Structure formats: structure tokens, C-alpha cells
Structure 1
Amino acid sequence: MNITVRQLTYLRALAEARSFSSAAQAVHVSQPALSVQIRELESQVGQPLVERRPRDVRLTRAGRRVLLAAERVAAELRALEAEARRGLGQVNLGMIPTIAPYLLPASLPDLRVQTALRLREAQTEELLEALAQGTIDAAVIATPAPDFHEEPLFEDRFLLAGTPDFLALNRGLAPQAIDPDTLLLLDEGHCLADQALALCGLTRARQRVDLGASSLSTLCALAGQGMGLTLVPEIAAAPETRAMPMLSLMRFAEEPARHVRLVRLRDCDDAAMWFDPLVGLLRKAGEALVAEARRGFA
């Protein structure tokens, strides 16, 4: 029996797409080429793996058994690729967009000395999926991830941002007392938007809340032009106020915060070789950014 990884990959694509043409597009081959490989796989197994219907494709009972084996093979290959990357000193690191522009420049000089880094910037859900699939090795996020191993990096407190006049009207207020009409937030999918809504006692059902911006820098630019107020984490405080001189920051009496963490898969025998040093470098850089913000925006 000479079953190939290519054949198993094509079977997985066919099971997901339930169409020969869609599966061929997903794996970037022609439909005839995919059909030939599936027939060869069926020949190797000795029985049909696919029910070919006019408008649908389904796996047979034997096909489902082979699919399970294909999933195990794919998982092993992803683990092998991750192992090879780490053996070469390369770490594939994910960061959420409200952390990466601030933490990465601060940590990059030390990271370059110790490892070859490849960064992926994406929202939390996408990063955790990539982590589970083995396409990244670790991710910096700001929400709990109970299915993964977590290491705390630093506490990142929130400040209220706006023009001096706007802030004067809100001085001494708790986050829950901010007028929703003045609140500017990121669009849906960003955990920072969810955290800010929760801190202000709001939900997405409150249509007065602006959920249109795609980056924290855009929010700060709008707030600096007097368009409203927004919440800025400490690690972004110095860079954003330098970029937007009209932007002022104010601390709350009781400061809300997010907790930044580095996560990886639970089963990782070589964590001491790459993950633990990465925790130390990112924690050092993050704590330095926070300390700068607490000195400059007391």
C-alpha cells in the first residue's frame, strides 16, 4: 500500500467542501488532478471512499475512517513542522493588533539576539485557532485562554483619552458614567472593544456606541480631533500622544486594566528552550512600557 500525504490532504479538502471543484480550488489543483488522486486512494484502500452524487459529495463509512487517519497524520505533520522551526531557532509568534504596534518595537532588539522571529498579527480568535493547528508557536493576547498554557506578562491599565476640554467635562467620572454618545471604540472582533464596553457597563445593543474604527491609532486620531472619547491602554499612551499632540490622557480614580499573557499549547516538552525565554523578554519590554506610562501620565 502506497498512500501519500497528498492523497490524504485531498480527501480532507473534499470532506470539507463536499464538492470536487471547490476542493480542487482549496488545494490549488485542477479538478481532474484531484479526482485522479482520490481514485488512486480508493484503489489503495480497496473500496469506495466517496459517494458521488449529482449535487453533493459524501464520504462512505470507509471514507470516514480514512479521514480520521488523515486528520491524525495532518496533526503529526504540523507538530513536526513546529518542532523543526524551533530546532532552527525560529519562533512563529502571534500578537493581537492592540498590542503588536507597541510591544513588538520595544522587544524586538532583544528578540533578534535570541531567536529568528516571524510575526502574525490577528485578532484573538484567529490566533488561538492558528495555535491549535500548529501554524504559530505562541500568541500574545489579553483575554483568558483556558484551553492553553498561559504565562502572565504584565498588567496594562486603561486611561481615558480625548482633547483637554473633553476630558475636563469627564474628570472624576468612573468608566460606567461615560456618556455612550461620546465613546469611540474599535469595530467588532477586537477584544479591546469588548473590554471597553464591559468597563463602561455597555453592550453592543447600545447603538449609540461607535464601533467603526479598525485600529487604536485611528481612535486616538479621532479623539485628538475632538470627535469623542476612547480608552487607551498604558502601552499605547506614549506613542499615541507623540503622534497626536492634541490628545490628552486622564487616569480613572479606580483604574481598570487588561492582563496581557503569552499562551502556547499545553503539551510542549521543549518549552524551557524557547517559550520561557520569550516570556522573560516580552515581560521585560511590557513592564518598561507600563512604567513609562505611569511616570508620564500619573
Structure 2
Amino acid sequence: MNLQQLEYFKVIAETENFTTASKLLLVTQPALSKSISKLEEELNVPLFEKRGRNVKLTRYGKIFLVHAERALLEIGKGIKELDEMASENIDKISISSTSRVGAYFMNFIISDFLNENPNTKFQFNQQSIMEIIDDLNNRKIDIGFYDNHTEAILDSSIECIPIKKEEYILIVPKNHVLADRKIISLKELENESFIAFCESSKDKILSYKDMLGYTPKISIEPKGANIGSAVEGLVSAGAGISIVPNSPTINTNLLSKISIKEPIKERVIYMSFLKSEYVSPIIKLFRDYILKHIDNN
């Protein structure tokens, strides 16, 4: 049984004539008769009985017509709903990122992309790394972005592409004794109070002890969605200094950025998406745009 047979059956029931039905359905009468015969064989009951040149529904046909019409109606609704969804999503991209990436990286990317593709609609939220991975697997988002100083998340169903590497720098308030320095050694910071930069216990970016080679004095360890802004605000207020990823959004009117002499493993921003998943042209365009325009050196 297939959708075509149900359509044929419904039209014949309405017209009560195979010839008329064949003209409306744009199919030959023999083909129409053969299709209905196969349907009756499958159901193992007669659906029509002859009444002169016309046909009438049998008692089986009358019962089956109720269900066939209901099925065709529901399928029609489903097709319409899918068409509407597809139409709405033609220029729609659903993305998610960790909070720090969202605060300074995604804003610029989305803005630049919209300048070239003004009809695009973005659905954008911020989550933890594992929430991003879960939403990708559950197809709630199209693309995820996260930052990590170790490795990409290992999930066989997800493609993770490193798209940008960032160096860590020291930030101090403008009135700090180190504010005029261009470069500094970590050994010179032993007596300083640090404002720790770690976004959460799950997404911890940086171990200050491992990096510095000694246990520093941590005066404040802010947490929350806007961790970057919180750290920079505390540093500019003179509450301590901090080692953070170099970002174009750091307010150099209030803060001084100082390069670090010792090599520190860069923080890497990854773009992730489901492997072997159909994507709309606009999503592919956005992914290609990122790979083409982001400097990951």
C-alpha cells in the first residue's frame, strides 16, 4: 500500500466512476484499475462494487475511506509543516558557543557574515562544552564553538576543526607598576595577586600553578557567563592582575596588555558539527566563511 493508491481510492470514491477519476488523476484507466485491484488484494476485501457504468463503495470501502481520508489529511499536514519549516530555515543558522567565545569571537564573526549575507537569521546561545556536544548530537544546533587549551572533544559523531589559536597575555591596570612593560617573565609575578581566569570547573582553561611553576596568590576567582568581562573589570579596578587569552575586546584604555616571555600553550577555538549530516546551503556557506576568513596561525 502506498500514498498513490490512497489518492486513487479517494478520487474514485468521490466520482464513483473510473473513467472520470482517471481523467482527474491524469492516469490511464487500466493503470487505475490495476492499482485498485492490488489495493483490494492487499486488504483482502472488495472496496467497490459495480452499479451500471458507475461504482459504489462496499461496506468495507466505506469504512476504509474514513481512515484513508484521515491518513491523507495527516500526511498533507505533515508535508505542509515540513515545507514551512524548510522555508523558515533556508537562511537560518542555529549556533552555540562557550561564554568567552561568545563574548568576543562570535560577535565579530556574525556581524561580518551578516554584512555579506543580510537575509541570514542566527539563533545564538551560550553553553558549556558538554552542553554544546549534547545539542549537536540531538540536532538542536547546527554548529558549536568552544575553546580549550588541551584537545578537541573526542566524539565519533562530531567533527571538530581548530579555527583559531590565541596566545595568553598579562593584563594589568593602567596605574600598575608594570603597566609600561612590553614583555615580562612569569618569575617576576611571584608577589602579585591574581584574578584567576577559569570559566567553570568543567571548562577550566588554565592551571596557574602548572603555568607559573609556583602557587600564586589568587585573590579572586570569578565564575559565571561573562567571565571575561568580570576579570577585566576587576583588573581595571585594581583588584589584581590576570593572565587571559589575547582578545580584541580588551579595553586598552583601562588595561595594559603585556606579552609573556615564557611559551604558554595557546588556547584553541574549535568549530564543531555533526559528521555526515545534511546541511542547508546557508550553513555550509557560514562554515566555509569561517574557515576562509579566520586566521588560525
- TM-score interval (norm. to shorter): 0.5 to 0.7
From the superposition, tell whether residues 86 and 211 of structure 1 become closer, same or farther in structure 2 (CA, over 3 Å).
farther
| 1:92 shift after superposition | 0.8
**Whose helix fraction is larger, Structure 1's or Structure 2's?**
1
**Residue 249 (structure 2) pairs with residue 262 (structure 1):** no
Query: In structure 2, how many angstroms separate the alpha carbons of the residues matched to 1:202 and 1:163?
Result: 24
Q: 1:187 to 1:154 in 2, by over 3 A?
A: closer
Residue 248 and residue 286 in structure 1: after superposition, are their counterparts in 2 closer, same or farther (change >3 A)? Answer: farther
Distance 1:87 1:202 in 2: 51
Q: Which residue identity lines up with residue 172 of structure 1 in the other structure?
A: I
Contact 1:141 1:261 in 2 (8 A): yes
CA contact (8 A) 2:163 2:294 kept: yes
Moved over 6 A (4+): none
Structure 1 counterpart of 2:145, from 133, 140, 149: 140
Match of 2:236 in 1: 224
1:1-298 alignment, distance < 5 Å: 84=86, 88-112=90-114, 113=117, 115-143=120-148, 144-147=152-155, 148-164=158-174, 165-167=176-178, 172-174=184-186, 178-179=189-190, 182-186=193-197, 189=200, 193-197=204-208, 200=211, 208=218, 210-214=220-224, 215-234=227-246, 236=247, 238-242=248-252, 245-256=253-264, 257-270=266-279, 273-283=281-291, 286-287=294-295
Alpha carbons of structure 1 residues 226 and 153: separation in structure 2 relative to 1, 3 Å: same
Cα distance in 2 between the residues matched to 1:98 and 1:222: 16
* Distance (Å, rounded) in 2 between the aligned partners of 1:130 and 1:198: 33
The residue identity in structure 1 corresponding to 2:167 is R
> What is the number of equivalent residue pairs in this alignment?
202
Deviations 1:176-229 (A, max 9, x none): 7744862212465267743254762589x9884632243211111111122111
Indicate conservation of the 8 Å contact 2:135/2:141, yes or no.
Answer: yes
* Conserved 8 A contact 1:94-1:139: yes
- Measured after TM superposition, the shift of residue 119 of structure 1 is 0.2
Distance (Å, rounded) in 2 between the aligned partners of 1:127 and 1:213: 19
- Kept after mapping to 2: 8 A contact 1:159/1:251: yes
SS at match of 1:88: coil
Task: State the shift of 1:169 in Å.
Answer: 10
User: 1:230: Cα distance to partner?
Assistant: 1.2
Unmatched 5+ stretches in structure 2: 1-81
Secondary structure at 1:264 match in 2 = strand
Q: State the Cα RMSD in Å.
A: 3.7
What SS does structure 1 have at the residue aligned with 2:289? helix
CA positional deviation for 1:84: 4.6
Letter in 1 for 2:272: V
Distance in 1 separating the partners of 2:272 and 2:192 = 36
Contact 2:236-2:255 at 8 Å conserved across structures: yes
Could you say which residue in structure 2 is the equivalent of 1:60?
Answer: none
- Distance across 1 between alignment mates of 2:169 and 2:144: 25
Contact 2:94–2:141 under 8 Å retained in 1: yes
Query: Which consecutive unaligned segments of at least 5 residues does structure 1 have?
Result: 1-79, 292-298
Query: Normalising by the residue count of structure 1, what TM-score does the alignment of the two structures yield?
Result: 0.56
What residue identity is the alignment partner of 2:285? P
